[in-house]
Amino acid sequence: MTTLVVREATPDDLGDVLALMAQDARSPGTPVSSVASPRQRSALDELVADPAHQVLVGLVDGVVVATAHVTWLRVLSADGGLYCQVENVRTDEQHRGRGIGRELMAWIEAAARDRGAARLQLTTHHTRTDAHRFYERLGYEPSHVGMKKYLD
């Protein structure tokens, strides 16, 4: 099994994060290049500064091979509880099947438990059937119908 080191992303990681996302660019708005735009650089700076967000990178031998974006949501439901929302989970296609995604999700789940989160939740594009199987193996269950309205 590969040892994954998980840490919060820095501005220097942005190209690697975008490259991982571009490997599976099926959803509208997903980056298709590792070249960061000024808006993406600004967005990462904002996310890194906000304690309600964590852009994570997973490294193997010092190389970024995985990423995820975690948002901590305080809600009125769950008795004012905390939800952990996970998005943009990606593992480099050359490293898939080695347990890296499972390790990254286990790290996130441990962080959610440490913070006392009531729920861990995520969305995944309907076309990502391999991802659906992956999440189901980790104990996630389809629970809601997601709807989006894309704005110009």
**Predicted confidence (pLDDT) per residue in 113-131, tens digit:** 999 999 999 998 888 899 9
In a domain, 96, yes or no: yes
What would the 3-class secondary structure string for 121-139 be? EECCCCCCHHHHHHHHHCC
In a domain, 144, yes or no: no
In a domain, 13, yes or no: yes
Tell which residue, 78, 93, 83, 94, has the closest CA to residue 131. 93
In a domain, 151, yes or no: no
Residue type, 143: S
Question: Tokens 């006392």 label which residue?
Answer: 116
Domain that holds residue 67: 5-137
Structural domain count of the chain: 1
* Number of Cβ atoms within 10 Å of the Cβ of 1: 8
| pLDDT higher than threshold 90 for residue 152 | no
The domain spanning residue 117 has which CATH number? 3.40.630.30
In a domain, 30, yes or no: yes
pTM above 0.85, yes or no: yes
